[in-house]
Structure 1
């Protein structure tokens, strides 16, 4: 007999079944079976236990269709073959596809893709559950006439599925065929005889399930089926319950075919809803002309700014409901797309301290051991690609520490290590990039790096050679051996123990389960493809597919949890309050887009030919509305619905509009700004975030929050951001320890400091610096140019160079460049031909520069006296020392070139800096702490009486050594060439006396071709020059700036106050620490003024008066 129990959501269908079961148990019946959806089994079991007690529940079997398969299999003596896991199915499907690839018409080129294997598994499962055989598909394909695309598609699918079934036969059992096997076992066995069956919680069935239910109707004593509908006879395909009504008709037809009686019970009262709104919502959702009602606080529709706001609001309201006395288990959160909300909602729940349970199973593909195996395979497949090897190391399952991995990664980055040859070659270069000599410290670092390299490479090579030419079993065995060789098994145990100490026992236990699943994947591949020859690439694809197919179940961590699920598969346990998230147009109800190999048009043709597959088209749309109805009607007391409404494309869905029609025109959709501030405090964390957000409001509410958090360590940080306070190290003792009481700095650091104190702190306090590749960048180019110029002038001499012809100069340049390449760039064998070519191209630019130098030396009486002159404790010149209030600053460095002139019994000294950039020199920069470097070096040399080039300061000069500013073509006029060359006139300041003896010794004809000085047509001096007394004032200013820098650092002053002005307007634009400053409300830059040299002197005189 077939018994129908019809009724809308909340009308008591489940209660009816349970009451009937109780009556049967009380009457002595013990052959009762309750079948519910898988996700409802636990809840049903709990209800049965509460209702029947321990003795009564023994008379009832509570099963899902899956568990019924196992039950009947046991009854019939068990299963003869092993059951394939999800991963093993993928392996077998790949094998099936490979066996028929040459016969495929349509899919031939696609079969190698992992996604195709997954798609074919879906088609197999669908066809199996819908009782469609490969032969039937093939027969239909032959009779489709002009529909060749579908015919070829069905023909290819039938070939693949038949090959898959052939591989299964008498070897394995596919879970997709469980219902077919169940049907066969039920036919042959007496399991159903005398059984009283209740089927509750379903809205539809697949073909296999229909066959089984028909068999139940035929053989069992009675079958009771509950269906959520109030109109089972309604034939309207757009009716809200159309899909359910079709289920009812199919079951009625089955009963009629079995000559069994049908009884019908209509439940007509909503027993769930506890107020008028919830009753009306269930009764008239999606009604054409619903009644209107004042819902009070029983319904809330929230328009969120974005998904984060939506999740935060949901968690906030749940927190208030919990505080009002509602149990967590009486609250459910339902959405249509779990992936969109899971991580954000999890964060919000933690923030508001809400217990919840998400029954979604976790994929294992991101677990460390799975990632390890994937990158072990990739390392060999892609010939030791560095990204793969480093990813393997970063799993945490090797013997390398995080520090060792970081150092290795840095070396790989600096020296562009990639591929088999480089990984299998001993590292010999400095970890810091190009250096003339490797220090002892660097040698020790390289030795340690080689140990790390050898550890990784030896194990990967061992794996590589052991699997060469092997079959699937060999590869699986060697993967296991590699795991043991790397020590991954022991590392996993240590990781689990460490997690346990953090009171996360579930996560710790998870590691063992993941290991077992990984071993299961390897075993499944061996079981399915054991003796088959297989490339590592194919094995990798298979392993990835299988890993993505496996998952970890999650156990509830408590009894009282908020329920969280996806509408199409979530069965809430009578919640009092429901939150529906994501009620946007196209999202919930969802616009289903087909992703199967069979399009909707294909499915329509198949349906016309009596192939009843999964739902499609209008049926899916009706199902989606049904899911929305079930979600909205499952609450007994209160309904919250939220959607994103800030974007121009964010429209509310039909679920929202239908509910709003019931609530009337006066109902106001809630926004974040409508929620009272006090209500927005749901936890300490949310209160702190609210305080930070409204810190500047200075309302009574915000002041109260500020007072509450005044002692919180984070409060000061928020206050500083709000007030735009300058950064400062409050602990001056720590500041002095960080920067040093007695500081030893390069002169360039002074300019760094005055460019931006905060950048200086990041760079030299925190020592946070960007990594630099060992390549021919601007820095390396500049170093090479400096070295070659030094070698030429030192070896040839300035006077002899002045007499050389162009060709002689070119030969010299080429010679010294090659020598530099061989001696400075480590092992030249490791340098690429492209690098060497680019490097030697510097000769064109250097030819021009040296020719220019030769011209200058022919005009000057100054002679090059020192190169790369070191200013340091052990240098030719001692450091430039400035006393501080506590301690001192000692400036050290290196001068590219020092020229001297013996005249009138005095020695005059000028310092030359080679500039490979295009930065201009302005004397006014000195007032702001910029362009001090060469002045400091000049004064350091001239003040050191023991320095061999000590003398009277005669100037600082900057010589451009880059040809990038010169644009000279074959047809360029001579005048334009000379004008272009004038850009290479040295910049800087020279010493000027009334007799102009010194400047005329620098350039004999004083035309300003080489130095920044000349006489104009009126015989007046023009250019950048200073008297001896004015140079003294510059020295005094520089001393005060260095002292200011040292004292500021000792006081912890590290403000974000970058310099800004002509020539210095990109301080922030190219700053390596730009992102660090993003939290600051407003960066206030220090404006600098570009002054004429006379104004600079005047300003110095005023300051020092």
Structure 2
């Protein structure tokens, strides 16, 4: 039998157990019915009210105060206020945004981790500097947010992961597997971080943003700041570059600060802008004081410094570059981009300091080597390939070439072995595209990785005719053509230049760049081929066909849902991704040979040619030029070589980067 005290204790335990279970069930019910952030926050607060948590906390706080334990009492106040502040912040930032319970609790937990007990500071005046996502800005008298520009706050969210947002959501729904946050979650987190930083100041908050970038481009303010401007009508906006005109004395608090502000003011004065007389007085005081004028001469010289290079003399130019120019096409293109860059790299022979570490290899070189190996094995007859043959040749080529890349680097780790498999997949996809293109073209690939120079070292190399500068100095051009396709009709040979590119941006022939000597490669290659008809085994009459780029890559086809996948359409979309780009001779014989399927109202999916209803070339789907125009470009390209080489030997070293 139980005693009276034991019975009372038992009844209290049962009552406490029932009370706790009731409260837990109430909390679980409230949270399970919530669907948005506002619903979750409301359910959380109502549950605390139901638990009588506020009354209990306040009672305990009062008792601590009465007992003289004021620090503990203050902590309870801060805990409760912080808890309510987090819920308010979540509602203000996310509002009626749908969110799962797990995600809400995760964000709520992040807010709890940021709570700190505020004690008496060690110093009354203190400046803390940090990034917005890590800075502790609670209870700071003044918060200064720097760089509130679009693109910085919020930072752009880029989809760079292997798994898309849709796939992440699918995994979470079907397999209950939580992956990394999706883009929309990251954007909401960014908004929350910004809100916390903006609303924690006790006294003031200042936002700073720039109107112009370092390169002179216009910059926009952050959309978060735009929302604040819409909410408050009396915000004070100060243009800092002009601040020295309005209140110059406020910038003269310290010698170093004054010198910096003085430099800006004098620079404005030299630009014929009006500045306060106080700055001229400040300059005279600093200049005449031995104690203050340290470093002033350096600042003044910076005001009038003009970063101009000196043109080299004839003797020095020959000493640097030699009595003849032996160079690749890319060297001449580099000069057009910036003469000083060419002078630094080829005149002064400046290079980055050698690092004794494993250097990154060039995937483009690997693709070139693999495609050359396979092309020579099949004599360029891509159309006879089938899937089995493609895989066999790919594996054979990779086994031959990859072990030679940086001492078998691609077999040194799991990452590089994965990269090797990916290279193989890209090569297989590329060969499938080449098979498709070869099936519908009369042009046949004949020569691969063909080198050219002034004096060929083998019979397979081509001869590059020597050009001459205005000073009489020989120009010897060298290089390598990835692929030469030929087609012969009525004793006339037509040639295509095919250049493999592993990056999409470089697989575009821009005729404006060709004209100004920024893109000299394709016209040079065509010129070399036309000069070497005998070495290439062509007829006496040789004409240009196409100057074309082939993008070696692994295409990605986007679709909205699994139901949208259609194998035939997917295959067509993949083929279109490998469509050749560039310039084609408008000669009818060339057009007919490039794609044998061409007919009225048809646009080729292998070359940049399309026909209208009447059989004429369409402007939208065709990148063509008549033969005379192509020859004019080739001749102009030669003139660019001569002009560029002449400028080099004239000693031009201007800092003049070309922005296109």
TM-score (ref. length: structure 2): 0.51
- Are 1:845 and 2:426 counterparts? yes
From the superposition, tell whether residues 822 and 987 of structure 1 become closer, same or farther in structure 2 (CA, over 3 Å).
same
- Contact residue 681 and residue 687 of structure 1 kept, 8 A: no
Post-superposition offset of 1:971: 5.3
Indicate conservation of the 8 Å contact 2:481/2:497, yes or no.
yes
Q: CA deviation at 1:1048?
A: 0.9
Q: CA deviation at 1:979?
A: 4.0
Q: Which of 885, 891, 907 is residue 477 of structure 2 equivalent to?
A: 891
* DSSP-derived class of the 1:914 partner: strand
**Contact 1:967–1:980 (Cα < 8 Å) also in 2:** no
CA distance in 2, matches of 1:941, 1:759: 30
Cα deviations by residue, 1:533-579 (Å, 9 ceiling, x for unpaired): xxxxxxxxxxxxxxxxxxxxxxxxxxxxxxxxxxxxxxxxxxxxxxx
Residue aligned with 1:930, SS: coil
Q: How big is the shift at 1:833? A: 4.0
Does the 8 A contact of 1:865 with 1:949 survive in 2? no
Residue 755 of structure 1 is matched in structure 2 by 337
Say whether the 8 Å CA contact 1:909–1:949 is kept in structure 2. Answer: no
CA distance in 2, matches of 1:1025, 1:829: 42
Q: Following the alignment from structure 1 to structure 2, what is the Cα–Cα distance between the partners of residues 744 and 788?
A: 29
Deviation of 1:910 (Å) = 1.5
Q: Measure, in 2, the Cα distance between the counterparts of 1:945 and 1:772.
A: 45
Residue equivalent to 1:1005: 597
Work out the CA distance in 1 between the residues paired with 2:322 and 2:562. Answer: 57
Q: Distance in 2 between matches of 1:916 and 1:773?
A: 27
- Determine the C-alpha separation between the residues in 1 that align with 2:302 and 2:379: 68
Work out which of the residue numbers 545, 549, 559 in structure 2 matches 1:954: 545
Match in the other structure for 2:158: none
Distance 2:349 2:545 in 1: 37
Give CA deviations for 1:616-635 in whole Å, capped at 9, x if unaligned: xxxxxxxxxxxxxxxxxxxx
Match of 1:906 among 467, 492, 503: 492
Q: CA deviation at 1:1057?
A: 2.2
CA contact (8 A) 2:402 2:408 kept: no
**Offset of 1:829 from its aligned partner?**
9.7
Query: SS where residue 898 of structure 1 aligns?
Result: strand
Equivalent residue for 1:823? Answer: 404
Question: Counterpart in 2 of 1:22?
Answer: none
1:768-787 equivalences in 2 (<5 Å)? 768-770=350-352, 777=360, 780-787=362-369
Structure 1: gaps spanning 5 or more residues: 1-641, 649-667, 696-717, 1062-1105
Runs of 4+ with deviation above 6 angstroms = 645-648, 668-671, 680-683, 772-776
2:285 corresponds, among 666, 675, 680, to 675
Cα 1:849/1:669, change in 2 over 3 Å? closer
Equivalenced residues, count? 370
Q: Distance in 2 between matches of 1:987 and 1:755?
A: 23
Instruction: Give CA deviations for 1:120-168 in whole Å, capped at 9, x if unaligned.
Output: xxxxxxxxxxxxxxxxxxxxxxxxxxxxxxxxxxxxxxxxxxxxxxxxx
Secondary structure at the aligned position of 2:462 is classed as: coil
Structure 2: gaps (5+ residues) = 1-251, 259-277
User: How far is the alpha carbon of 1:1027 from its aligned partner?
Assistant: 2.2
Residues 1044 and 972 of structure 1: CA distance in aligned 2, closer, same or farther (over 3 Å): farther
State the Cα distance separating 1:694 from its structure 2 match.
Answer: 4.5
Aligned residue among 864, 867, 881 for 2:445? 864
Check whether the contact 1:871–1:894 (CA below 8 A) recurs between aligned residues.
Answer: yes
Matched, 1:1016 2:612: yes
Any idea what SS the aligned residue of 1:894 has?
Answer: strand
CA separation of 1:1060 and 1:687: change in aligned 2, threshold 3 A: closer
- Per the alignment, residue 692 of structure 1 pairs with 301
Q: SS state of the match for residue 957, structure 1?
A: strand
* Alpha-carbon distance, 1:843 to partner: 1.1
CA distance 1:862–1:752, shift in 2 (3 Å): same
Q: Match of 1:180?
A: none
Match of 2:321 among 739, 742, 750: 739
Distance 1:914 1:765, change over 3 A: same
Q: Output aligned runs, 1:298-309, within 5 Å.
A: none
The verdict on how the C-alpha distance between 1:694 and 1:768 changes in structure 2, with shifts beyond 3 A counting, is closer
C-alpha spacing 1:811/1:672, structure 2 compared with 1 (3 Å): farther
Q: What's 1:882 paired with? A: 467
Distance 1:802 1:843, change over 3 A: same
Aligned to 1:222: none
Aligned residue in 2 for 1:963: 554
What is the rounded CA distance, in whole Å, between the counterparts of 1:895 and 1:669 in structure 2?
A: 63
Post-superposition Cα deviations, 1:987-1024, rounded to whole Å, max 9, x if no partner, equal 1112221xx11122121113321111121334221312
Are 1:1034 and 2:633 counterparts? yes
Paired residue for 1:805? 386
Residue of structure 2 equivalent to 1:213? none
Question: 1:795 Cα shift?
Answer: 0.4
- Tell me the residue number matched to 2:395: 814
* Distance change >3 Å, CA 1014–CA 728, structure 1 → 2: farther
CA displacement, residues 693-723 of structure 1 (integer Å, 9 cap, x when unaligned): 453xxxxxxxxxxxxxxxxxxxxxx4x33xx
Residue 933 (structure 1) shift: 0.4
Determine whether 1:928 maps to 2:516: yes
Inter-partner Cα distance in structure 2 for 1:669 and 1:1054: 38
The answer to whether structure 1 residue 766 and structure 2 residue 348 are counterparts is yes
Aligned partners of 1:670, 1:921: CA distance in 2, in Å? 55
2: CA distance between counterparts of 1:1018 and 1:829?
54
Q: How does 1:25-104 map to 2 (within 5 A)?
A: none
Aligned CA RMSD, in angstroms, stands at: 3.5
Q: Distance in 2 between matches of 1:1034 and 1:772?
A: 42
- CA offset at residue 1035 of structure 1? 1.2
* 2:445 match: secondary structure: strand
Match of 1:937 among 525, 531, 549: 525
Counterparts in 2 of 1:744 and 1:819: CA distance versus 1, 3 Å: same
Partner of 2:576: 982
State whether residues 514 and 637 of structure 2, in contact with CA within 8 Å, keep that contact through their aligned partners in structure 1.
yes
In the aligned structure 1, how far is the partner of 2:297 from the partner of 2:470?
A: 41
The counterpart of 1:918, out of the listed 504, 510, 519, is 504
Distance in 1 separating the partners of 2:280 and 2:336: 52
Q: Does 1:1057 align with 2:656?
A: yes
Per-residue deviation, 1:774: 7.5
Counterparts of 2:358 and 2:549, CA distance in 1: 26
Distance of aligned partners of 1:944 and 1:680 in 2 relative to their CA distance in 1, 3 Å threshold? farther
Distance in 1 of aligned mates of 2:557 and 2:537? 34
Instruction: Return the match for 1:791 from 370, 373, 386.
Output: 373
Per the TM alignment, residue 646 of structure 1 is displaced from its structure 2 partner at its CA by 6.5
Per-residue CA deviation, residues 490-514 of structure 1 (Å, 9 max, x unaligned), is xxxxxxxxxxxxxxxxxxxxxxxxx
Change (3 A) 1:942 1:681: farther
Q: Distance in 1 between matches of 2:581 and 2:400?
A: 30
Q: Distance in 1 between matches of 2:574 and 2:494?
A: 31
SS at match of 1:782: helix
State the distance in 1 between where 2:579 and 2:347 align. Answer: 38
C-alpha displacement of 1:839: 2.1
User: Partners in 2 of 1:810 and 1:957 — Cα distance?
Assistant: 26
- Whether the 8 Å CA contact 1:736–1:1049 is kept in 2: the answer is no
- Describe the shift of the 1:755–1:690 C-alpha distance in structure 2 as closer, same or farther (beyond 3 A): closer
Alignment of 1:184-583 (within 5 A): none
Shift, 1:734, TM fit:
1.1
